[in-house]
Amino acid sequence: MSNSIWATLSAIDCSEHIEKKGQFSYLAWTWAWAMVKENYPWAEYELLADTVYPDGTMEVRVKVSINTQVAVDSGNHSLVFNTLSHTMWLPVLDFKNKAICNPNAFDINSSRMRCLVKCLAMFGLGHYIYAGESAPNPSPALQEDYERLVELVAKGEGWELRKFTIDQGAKMDELFNMAPQGKKTQFKADVRDLYGKTNGFMKAWVGEVEARIANGDSADSITECYEELTDLEKHYCVDALDEITRHKLSEAIGEKI
């Protein structure tokens, strides 16, 4: 179970949600907790008793428990969980990362939330931030897919991009997050624009085929419209036809499509 939690949370790119305090980086606790709850709805955290030292400095502690459902107890009508817990501690610090003597309520609250995020790193979320890294290391296979995506966009290969995004499915979010910080939004826009061009082409092609059929054009004319497409274009454009038009196109070219 612990390996599964670590694998899930450590793979999340947190780079767009990192906040700066002086020279130090912190992960926004609201987003971090939302990510945990999104993946593990039964996760919970507990603020443990604070420790006050003789010099007036203070240390906060947070315990996080991630519960994963493993079974349903039909006899008691209740869920059965596996639970993994970690506890983390953190001094109440100023903007120079120095312990504060006699901290106020705001200082204490801020430290508790940062301690929560630090504890979440024990489960994998944003752990690389504390190692001084800027982003998690992708798997070789994921890196290869990302490089392929970049290549398709750079070359303007719209139809290959369309096939790629459909094949990748949910993994596209991970690939988008691998773009350099500050360039993710533009990269997504470039992918959407290129994908959108294939949508526009399909709409125009479908309209042309429907018009030729409606006008009673010859089979040669309709076949010409079809044969101008590449194999990949045929695959997606034919799928965009309604059943009646697809049947008439098949009759015109003399083969089932």
Task: Assess whether 153 and 35 both reside in one domain.
Answer: no
Residue closest to 17 by CA, chosen among 35, 4, 5: 35
Contacts of 53 (CB under 8 A, 6+ apart): 59
Supply the range of the domain harboring residue 211: 140-253
Task: Assess whether 118 and 189 both reside in one domain.
Answer: no
Task: Assess whether 7 and 112 both reside in one domain.
Answer: yes
pTM beyond 0.85: the answer is no
The domain boundary, picked from 130, 156, 178, lies at 130
Contacts of 222 (CB under 8 A, 6+ apart): 209, 212, 213, 248, 249, 252, 253
Task: Assess whether 55 and 110 both reside in one domain.
Answer: yes
Structurally, the chain folds into a number of domains equal to: 2
pLDDT over 80 (residue 250):
yes
Furthest C-alpha separation in the chain: 95
pLDDT digits (tens, 9 = 90+) for 76-121: 666 667 889 999 999 998 877 789 999 999 999 999 999 999 999 9
pLDDT over 60 (residue 162):
yes
pLDDT over 70 (residue 15):
yes
Q: Is residue 230 in some structural domain?
A: yes
Q: How confident is the model at residue 21 (pLDDT cuts 50, 70, 90)?
A: low
Q: Is residue 61 in some structural domain?
A: yes
pLDDT over 90 (residue 3):
no
Task: Assess whether 7 and 126 both reside in one domain.
Answer: yes
Backbone CA torsion sign across 167, 170, 175, 176: positive
Task: Assess whether 35 and 113 both reside in one domain.
Answer: yes
**Mean pLDDT value of segment 186-197:** 94
- What is the number of other CB atoms lying within 10 angstroms of the CB of residue 80? 10
% pLDDT > 90, the chain: 64
- What is the number of other CB atoms lying within 10 angstroms of the CB of residue 217? 16
Three-state DSSP class for residue 88: strand
Q: Are 208 and 177 in contact (CB under 8 A)?
A: no
**Mean pLDDT value of segment 151-162:** 96
pLDDT attached to residue 245? 94
Task: Assess whether 59 and 16 both reside in one domain.
Answer: yes
**Mean pLDDT value of segment 31-50:** 95
Task: Assess whether 201 and 175 both reside in one domain.
Answer: yes
Task: Assess whether 144 and 120 both reside in one domain.
Answer: no
Higher pLDDT, 118 or 174: 118
Distances (CA, A) of 223 to 49, 177, 228, 241, 253: 78, 43, 9, 15, 5
Q: Is residue 135 in some structural domain?
A: no
What type of residue is 126?
G
Task: Assess whether 145 and 248 both reside in one domain.
Answer: yes
The domain boundary, picked from 112, 130, 148, lies at 130
Q: Is residue 196 in some structural domain?
A: yes
pLDDT attached to residue 76? 65
The domain boundary, picked from 86, 109, 130, lies at 130
CATH number at residue 75: 3.30.390
Mean residue pLDDT of the chain comes to 88
Measured between alpha carbons, how far is 88 from 150 in angstroms, rounded to an integer?
Answer: 40
**Mean pLDDT value of segment 140-156:** 90
Q: How confident is the model at residue 159 (pLDDT cuts 50, 70, 90)?
A: very high
Task: Assess whether 92 and 197 both reside in one domain.
Answer: no
